[in-house]
Structure 1
Amino acid sequence: MESILTINNLTKKFGYLTAVKDLSFTINKGNVYGILGPNGSGKSTTLGVVLNVVNKTSGDFHWFDGNISTHHALKKVGAIIERPNFYPYMSGYQNLKLVCKIKGVDYSKIDEKLEIVGLLERRDSKFRTFSLGMKQRLAIASALLNDPEILILDEPTNGLDPQGIHQIREIIKEIATKGTTILLASHLLDEVEKVCSHVVVLRKGEKLYSGRVDEMISSHGFFELKCNNQNELVKLLKNHKSFGNVKTEDDLVTAFLTEPMKSEEFNKYLFENGIILTHLIQRKESLEEQFLQLTDNNPINQN
């Protein structure tokens, strides 16, 4: 699989603070990657280093096959790592014309990119009349003008209302279907789960997990259970090879599967062992539940 970005043992220190610690992962062509972690986990610092905005302390990274300089590689990268910064008294189209001049891109690209982000009808409206969501969408259009091989977005839905969030996420998915690789930093579990195919989980600058979203920890789901003899139920589950983590909260037992199991098979097994359930629900684990297991139930910021 063709590599877009490779990071090896990257470390960045700010004085006594280690913002990124010994981080390694690879971004392959054609996927949507999420860097997931709470504020202060090292997401923005990592993006800053690979975009030549922040100097690394140690380790290395290379773009594409590693045979071109970072300066030249970045000509094939589109990125938004700060709030959109356009001229308020100029129209969306005029602002993008300036970006075209800087990037050496033909003006013919502007309407094409405005259409992708749903702003073609507002091309001649002044930037100051745009909502926050529209400003963010114009920034995405700006980052797409040079037809980048990878689009990098740092917290793209931060501060937006639900409609704005939905629009940005749909645009990201649409861009990905056209073959553009996307690297998205977010503190929102929900965002990564809905938009990304792969995830790198960071906490305090260290990588906790890297891989496919749908393979994170376990994709076998869990059972929510209630019965009249909870202690016997928990004991039975903890001695069963098909279960990993077993949690109890008041009268509810949650048992996480390590391999596939049907609810009817499970219910029969319990009945044969003298356990009669008053409540049985089988669920697929959300990324949140998997994340909380991964981080030892230390909650991430989900707002």
Structure 2
Amino acid sequence: MALKRTVTGTSNAKIILIGDHSVVYHQPAIALPLPSVTTRVNLTSTKVGQQLNSRYFDGPLTEMGQNLSGTAKLIQTLLNRFDATEVPFEMTIASDLPAERGMGSSAAVAVAVTRAMYQFFDRPLNRELLLATAAIAEKITHGHPSGIDAATVSSHAPIWFIPGHESLQIPFNLPGYLVIADSGVKGQTGKAVAAVARRKTTMPQTTNEQIETLGHLTTETRATLASADLDRLGTILTAAQHELKGLGVSSPELDKLTHVACANGALGAKLTGGGMGGCLISLCADWETTQRVQQALTDAGATQTWIEAFETEEEH
């Protein structure tokens, strides 16, 4: 088997645009790929050994620690699949994605590793096989992953997602920009999901209404994404933040930063992901506003910011 000398597999970050938390209760969610924030996996054939270089570990594959057990299992499964357990190579994982910020860091690594290895061993890879393969690592990392992360970090189009149903890439026709900002506090998805579940038991009617409202806002967002109504989308995002705050999954830092974004001209802003920390997103109509909002968020304590042009081509 003639192996290519060096290949690269890539993927990108993702954010939940809307539907955070309500998606746990079978409401839809929309996730958005962030093509400017990427993960790259380089695979190079070597004379001897199987070596990994990454931000968490440098050394032989056989010595990868528990924190990388999902990636280790994925690589081993693929080497078995390709009958290549003895083939020597060096793998380097480089990622712009911060860990534990709701941006799909582990799924991005799984997708990029899968793409690199299929390329390296010159095997065909379609989308269905890619997502099924990435799930090998995600099941170890997250227990019962919904699949939305892998579906989005491997896509160029927004993903419409309902648990238990197939995820769909949806049309997208919007100008404008998103400013994503890290609140500086690690997101606490597990704690936030548990808090909503408790609230559902103690205050069922109010909580169910909030979850259903988030579902309706998500459905409305899908139509808005296709129709280029930026102002309406901003209003929807802010309405969603109001419901999420009501569910108890925001944080003082997120509340402050969403307020700062809107005070500086953003059309709308909300937390993204599990909440109780992590990131927020704010929607801006033009480049000047985008820069002003980004600067204001940084001044107000955001530890890192990213800008994504809110336009994407549909995937072919």
TM range (shorter): under 0.3
TM-score (norm 2): 0.25
Q: Which structure dedicates a bigger proportion of its chain to strand?
A: 1
Q: Which structure dedicates a bigger proportion of its chain to helix?
A: 2
